[in-house]
Chain A
Amino acid sequence: MRVRVLILPKKGLLDPEGRAVKEMLLDEGFPVKDVKVGKVVELELERETDIKTMVEKYLINPLVEEYIVE
């Protein structure tokens, strides 16, 4: 079983990396409104597990990050 967790900076939080990428893309002429830079954690699981606990307790910091599981 393969699970992909996308981790992004929480909405409303300053994301300097996203801002820098956005400015670069705007300079290059792309019509970009907003950019967020996060990370991907790809997991290969032996069996079903409590993904919510795994992600929220170990992989992200809920204070500053949000996530999407694919």
Chain B
Amino acid sequence: MKFAVCVFPGSNCDYDTYYVIRDLLGQEVSFVDYTTKDLKGFDCVVIPGGFSFGDYLRAGVLASKTPLGKAIVDFAQKGGLVLGICNGFQILTELKLLPGALLKNENMRFVCKDVYLRVENNRIAFTKRFERGEVIRMPIAHGEGRYYLPEEELRKIEENGQVVLRYCDEDGNITPQANPNGSVNNIAGVCNKEGNVFGLMPHPERACEDILGYRDGIILWHSLLA
């Protein structure tokens, strides 16, 4: 598989992501910078975490207006796989490739810790190596991760199975205490209707090796190859 890792001014998880794809997955990978107009030839485009354009105006909005932002829309509309992690998730909502918006955490703090997640949908390319209902652990690190969608649209994405990951406790219970940022319905990751675009706040690229304390993230990457 041929991967692209997007680089905007202010992206800061680009090298971690590149490393995981090249060294741990053994796949072909290239950086594509924000002036890139065409993503032809790639199978999967990854938008990594960071603070693209300093999060000015709103997290992700300035990145969404770049040539690369437009190329990502084109790539996704043709059925290409697009994964947005953290700031990448924010960019995907600003591009309208994913529903909703990511707002300031309810407690107004930047939250950097490990969370448990329940896999709600394992039918998409990004999660098919997980079991449905499986509880996994990954780190989060964000100040604006409170997923929001008005009630009616929220019901629609729940019905469509577009909620892929939810914050939960160690046993998989969806509780307010397990919700680190105030997201509606404890939502941590959503996909589009077609399932080829997926965004999540947790960082799977930081949870791929025993030396880091956990490997649940690598299963997501392996799902893409399955």
A interface vs B, CB < 8 Å?
Answer: 13-14, 16-17, 20, 41, 58-59, 61, 63-64
Also in contact, A17 and B65, with CB within 8 A (given A61-B94, A63-B150): no
Also in contact, A61 and B104, with CB within 8 A (given A13-B148, A14-B182): no
B57 at the interface (CB under 8 A from A): yes
Q: Are B148 and A64 in contact (CB under 8 A)?
A: yes
- The DSSP consensus for interface residues of chain B is loop
Q: Are A16 and B105 in contact (CB under 8 A)?
A: yes
Residues of chain A within 8 A of B100, CB atoms compared: 63
Q: Given the complex of chains A and B, what is the CA–CA distance between A16 and B3 in angstroms?
A: 38
Given contacts A16-B105, A61-B101, A63-B148, 10 further A-B contacts (CB under 8 A): A13-B148, A16-B104, A16-B106, A16-B108, A16-B182, A20-B108, A58-B61, A58-B65, A61-B61, A63-B101
Specify the chain A residue showing the minimal Cβ separation from B61.
A61
Q: Given the complex of chains A and B, what is the CA–CA distance between A16 and B105 in angstroms?
A: 8
B76 at the interface (CB under 8 A from A): no
90-135 of chain B: CB within 8 A of chain A = 94, 100-101, 103-108
Report which of B94, B106, B149 forms a contact with A14, defined as CB distance below 8 A: B106
- The DSSP consensus for interface residues of chain A is mixed
Residues of chain B within 8 A of A63, CB atoms compared: 100-101, 148-150
B193 at the interface (CB under 8 A from A): no
Specify the chain A residue showing the minimal Cβ separation from B150.
A63
121-158 of chain B: CB within 8 A of chain A = 146, 148-150
B58 at the interface (CB under 8 A from A): yes
Residues of chain B within 8 A of A58, CB atoms compared: 61, 65
Q: Are A64 and B57 in contact (CB under 8 A)?
A: no
Q: Given the complex of chains A and B, what is the CA–CA distance between A20 and B104 in angstroms?
A: 13
Q: Are B104 and A64 in contact (CB under 8 A)?
A: no
Q: Are B108 and A64 in contact (CB under 8 A)?
A: no
Q: Are A64 and B65 in contact (CB under 8 A)?
A: no
Q: Are B101 and A64 in contact (CB under 8 A)?
A: yes
The 4 closest A-B pairs by CB, nearest first: A64-B101, A16-B108, A63-B101, A16-B106
Q: Given the complex of chains A and B, what is the CA–CA distance between A13 and B61 in angstroms?
A: 20
Q: Given the complex of chains A and B, what is the CA–CA distance between A59 and B64 in angstroms?
A: 12
Q: Given the complex of chains A and B, what is the CA–CA distance between A16 and B106 in angstroms?
A: 6
CB distance from B109 to the nearest CB of A (A): 10
Report which of A20, A41, A59, A64 forms a contact with B103, defined as CB distance below 8 A: A64
Residues of chain A within 8 A of B61, CB atoms compared: 58, 61
CB distance from A55 to the nearest CB of B (A): 12
Residues of chain B within 8 A of A13, CB atoms compared: 103, 148
Residues of chain A within 8 A of B182, CB atoms compared: 14, 16
CB distance from A59 to the nearest CB of B (A): 7
Specify the chain A residue showing the minimal Cβ separation from B94.
A61
Residues of chain A within 8 A of B148, CB atoms compared: 13, 63-64
